Structure 1
Amino acid sequence: MSAAYATAARETVTLSAGRSRDKDLRSLVFLGALWFSLLFGILVLLVLILTTAVKGAPRFDMALLTDYSSQLFPERTGFRAGILGSVWVMLATAALAVPLGIAAALHLEEFADGQKWWNRFIEVNLQNLAAVPSIVYGLLAVAFVELVGIRERGLVISGAIALALLILPVIIITTREAVRAVPREIREGSLALGATQWQTTWRQTLPAAVPGIATGTILGLSRAIGEAAPLLMIGTATAIRFDPNGLMSQFTALPLQIYSSTSQSQEALQVAASAAIIVLLVMILALNGLAIYIRNKFQRTW
């Protein structure tokens, strides 16, 4: 009997450690294929990044960041308008999407009745909306701005609406997961001390879920900053030579300027576009790094 218990204990330890005795040829071939796919994808990505960086190396200068685009002097063309336009539209997108997404997630997770058919319908559609192509959100934004009476095309507010619609499902889903990870005992303890459900949510659940919410929100914004299709649908121009100064100002975005420069036949513009791709990649990696820092700095273990 003791031998049987010892064998069962060893098997339990093996399974919990992720090891298995099943090492036949098929499992080894499958494992090798998985590792090969992973390494191949990473290798291709590194080659693309290095090739782009080498091509754009002659244009890693301040003019790339401080000058405007120029067809007459392509060797001095810059992406100042695109960088500032991306910053403006990202700030407006965050102002629109973050409060609405967090509020919707808190309502669905803490207050809504999950047995009602309309709440189940909303939850199913949220999962589907997260996988909808970005150009569809551009079409939806066009219809929305026409509905509210905005006739001028290519405005900062229009771009913010398109990108806010794009990342709103992501923010709602990640916020719900962060709120769901808060232990139930915290809610029950607060309610037992006489707090209302709203006070419990506002003072206990939401602060405990902030690291997960911030991480998901920043990752959603890092996705939006590289999108070009929704901005094209709302009529965003690419040859803007001024800085945006408000929500009702016209703007261009860095991905759109990169697309426009790579489609030109002039070699100098393509070199500048390669350098701008690295700038955009650095911006995205900085946002992802900020998300990782917030998660590691403020996450709690329950």
Structure 2
Amino acid sequence: MNARPAFLENSVIVAAHPDDELLWFNAILHDVDEVIVVYRDFWAQPGLGEKRAAALADFPRAGVSCLNIAESGAAGCANWDDPRESPDGLVLSFESQRRELTRMSRLALGKVGMGERRVAEYSVLTAYQNNFVKIQTLLRERLRPGMNVFTHNPWGEYGHEEHVQLFRVLQGLRDEIGFNLWMSNYCTNRSLPLAMRYFQTSPGQPIRLPTNKAFAEEVASVYKRHDCWTWADDWQWFDDEWYLPAPRQGATPQPHQHLFPLNLFTIDVAQKRPWLSMAVGSAAAASALMVAADF
């Protein structure tokens, strides 16, 4: 009988959204001691939180819990062509301001009985910053010295602002609490510019494990059955995953540095015309505020 690997002793996956624990930690999902998922609800998708809760309750293994934090809506708000890191994750680009104009216009229209009333309580930026503190507070109560904590990498796998934020939270808590922090090895064309800042001369010894495709399909079927699977239906699981001790803050790459093996895949990167979004959003907000003022 094989002894359990040391890196899986006292182990936990901390994943941002339900199904992230499967997509990026397939090889260890069945075997870790505990799984913690951060987010549940998202205001723009009514009912999603209930579907996710049902899926997690139906999860085909024990020890899965959720912090029940609401998503900030920051996905797609960073400038992934030239991403800038911040203490709470990533600096958000103009896209977050455009969304705030839309939010304000909806609020104004709602006050005069016009338009859609479903609207975020806070701006994307405020929600993103508030979530950092919420996640930090809740995880500080759950994590202990010596644990093996597996989470997202500092470029957010395919480039997700909330994945990056969760890494930042755990990066700080590692120094405060004293656990071992491990990261996933997935990357895409969108997130590669940020990943390249984590080239290292001595990246440490990665752990290579075969993925558990049978269990992956079992878990994916639960999310699909509860109508909260967020990934592509034709996704093909990689054969292996690599885990590496998480690095410190990123830096400008130097000669002769390298990354450990990556599970690199492509993702669609929408072509945006920010000037058009700005014009439309500003006009909508201005019109709504004028109506509200005249009412």
Q: Tell which structure's C-alpha radius of gyration is larger.
A: 1
Which structure has greater strand proportion?
A: 2
TM over 0.5: no
Which structure has greater helix proportion?
A: 1
Q: Report 1 or 2 for greater relative contact order, CA contacts < 8 Å, sequence distance ≥ 6.
A: 1
Normalising by structure 1, report the TM-score.
Answer: 0.25
